[in-house]
Each structure stands twice: as structure tokens, then as C-alpha cells.
């Protein structure tokens, strides 16, 4: 299989060494000051918060009704998750955002500060950008970077190296919002059967948009925030048609 990465020349190494002086990513990762959290751990936490007594599955009889009830419960979970507002003083909430920040920068971070803008939030706290997606957005981003880490590292590094205006998190959250809208409009129901997890399907659609995003930004070369916003809209349109 042909590698998707270019052969590294001495010239490329020299360029990368020059760029690394101003890189957000340190040569040696810092030791995390709080435990990083995985998607599965965060997912189970919110399941226990939203359904403290477990799913209320009252369906009896055939598999179709069981599947329908499962889908109904999972959609309720996602919609409830979307309504949970980010609280930086909540231990799990902050661990999720901390884990996302650490994934991209390999640095520790405080709850507030300009460092959040380094990964593409618009202000000194993620709160404002999370208003429309609640904790659904961060959990979906966590899924992506846990399961497909190289994809998201590649996008982030590409934008850094080309010194693009880096509203990176805003763009990822826009994709999360799009996948949530598909759920809210019941457009994913025909993809689900008794063997599927509704949330995982939504997450994979979000990741698929990430692959499109990675392709499109490279087609545009040196992008700025306007073209990146256009790219996100283009990807949403492609996903909607598919």
C-alpha cells in the first residue's frame, strides 16, 4: 500500500525545524496534571446521569419493537446530552475539555485563559462556543480523537503549519451541530437496526465529515477562516446529499 505521507527530504526537515520554534506542540509532552478521560468513560458517565435507573425499556415481543425502543432511548440520551451545558467546575466536564486540549497540544491547561484559542475556540473559555451543542459536541469530538487520532492530528498540524486562522474547534463543533440536526430531524432512523448504536452512527457521520474536511482544506492550499468556513458549509452540503 502506498503511504499517504511524503518522503521526507532534508529541505523539508529544515523547514519543519524552523516552524517548530513557534509551534504550539512542545518537543516533550507535559505530564497531564489531571487524568485524561476516554470517550467510553465519559459516555458511561453521562448515561448514568441521564438514565440513573438504566434504560426504561418496556418493549415486549419482536426484535423490531426492541430496536425501536432502543433507538428511542438513544435519541432521548443524545437530545438530553445536547441540553447539558458545559460547566468548567464540573469534574467530568472539565476533564473532557482538558483531554481534547491535551490531545492537540500535549500541554496542561487552566479552566480559563487565552490558551483555549490555540485550538480554535473563540474566547478564553469554551463555554460560549458550546452553547448550541451542550456536552454532545465535546463528547463527539472526544470520540473522533480517540478512535481516529491521526486524522485529527493531521488536520490540526496542517492548519498550524500554514498559519491559517485557527477557529478549528468552532469548525468541529459546526460538524457536531450538523450531525445533531440529522438526529433531531429523524434522518438517521433508516440506518439503525437492532445491532446498531444510534450514537455511534451519528459519531461516524461526524468523522466522515472530518475526512472530507481534511481533503478540502488541502485542496484549497493556504486557507484563511473565510475559506475554512466555506469548506465546512460545503462538507455539510455533501453530507446532506449523501
> pLDDT of 155-205, one tens digit each?
999 888 876 666 889 989 999 998 898 888 888 887 776 556 888 889 998
Mean pLDDT of the region 77-106: 97
The total of other beta-carbon atoms located within 10 Å of residue 121's CB is: 24
Mean pLDDT of the region 59-67: 46
C-alpha cell at 58: 418496556
Cβ neighbors of 25 (< 8 A, separation 6 or more) are: 104, 105, 106, 157, 160
Alpha helix (H) residue ranges in the chain: 10-20, 39-50, 63-83, 91-105, 136-147, 149-161, 168-184, 198-220, 225-241
Mean pLDDT of the region 58-71: 56
Backbone angles phi, psi at 23, to 5 degrees: -70, 145
In this prediction, residue 236 carries a pLDDT of 67
Q: How far apart are CA 61 and CA 240, in angstroms?
A: 35
Least confident span in 62-66, 94-98, 229-233: 62-66
Cβ neighbors of 100 (< 8 A, separation 6 or more) are: 119, 138, 141, 142, 145, 169
Q: How far apart are CA 217 and CA 211, in angstroms?
A: 10
Q: How far apart are CA 103 and CA 139, in angstroms?
A: 14
In this prediction, residue 241 carries a pLDDT of 62
Least confident span in 5-14, 106-115, 228-237: 5-14
Q: How far apart are CA 111 and CA 159, in angstroms?
A: 24
Return the higher-pLDDT residue of 54 and 107.
Answer: 107
In this prediction, residue 180 carries a pLDDT of 92
Confidence category of residue 10, pLDDT binned at 50, 70, 90: very low
Q: How far apart are CA 46 and CA 91, in angstroms?
A: 12
Tell which residue, 47, 96, 53, has the closest CA to residue 76: 47
- The length of the chain is 242
Return the higher-pLDDT residue of 235 and 208.
Answer: 208
CA distances from 20 to 10, 12, 124, 160, 191 (A): 15, 12, 24, 10, 44
pTM of the model: 0.81
Mean pLDDT of the region 101-130: 95
Residues 175-186 have pLDDT tens digits of 999 889 888 888
Amino acid at each position: 500500500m502506498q503511504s499517504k505521507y511524503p518522503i521526507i527530504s532534508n529541505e523539508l526537515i529544515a523547514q519543519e525545524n524552523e516552524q517548530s520554534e513557534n509551534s504550539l506542540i512542545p518537543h516533550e509532552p507535559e505530564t497531564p496534571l489531571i487524568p485524561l478521560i476516554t470517550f467510553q468513560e465519559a459516555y458511561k458517565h453521562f448515561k448514568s446521569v441521564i438514565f440513573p435507573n438504566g434504560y426504561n425499556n418496556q418493549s415486549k415481543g419482536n426484535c423490531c419493537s426492541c430496536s425501536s425502543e432502543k433507538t428511542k432511548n438513544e435519541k432521548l440520551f443524545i437530545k438530553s446530552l445536547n441540553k447539558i451545558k458545559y460547566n468548567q467546575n464540573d469534574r467530568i466536564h472539565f476533564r473532557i475539555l482538558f483531554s481534547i486540549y491535551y490531545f492537540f497540544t500535549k500541554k496542561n491547561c487552566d479552566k480559563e485563559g487565552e490558551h483555549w484559542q490555540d485550538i480554535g475556540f473563540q474566547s478564553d473559555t469554551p463555554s460560549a462556543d458550546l452553547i448550541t451543542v451542550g456536552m454532545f459536541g465535546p463528547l463527539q469530538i472526544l470520540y473522533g480523537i480517540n478512535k481516529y487520532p491521526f486524522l485529527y492530528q493531521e488536520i490540526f498540524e496542517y492548519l498550524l503549519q500554514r498559519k491559517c486562522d485557527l477557529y478549528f474547534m468552532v469548525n468541529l463543533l459546526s460538524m457536531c451541530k450538523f450531525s445533531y440536526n440529522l438526529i433531531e430531524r429523524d434522518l438517521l432512523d433508516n440506518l439503525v437496526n437492532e445491532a446498531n448504536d444510534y450514537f455511534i452512527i451519528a459519531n461516524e457521520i461526524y468523522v466522515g465529515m472530518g475526512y472530507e474536511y481534511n481533503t478540502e482544506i488541502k485542496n484549497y492550499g493556504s486557507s484563511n477562516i473565510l475559506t475554512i468556513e466555506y469548506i465546512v458549509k460545503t462538507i455539510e452540503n455533501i453530507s446532506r446529499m449523501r
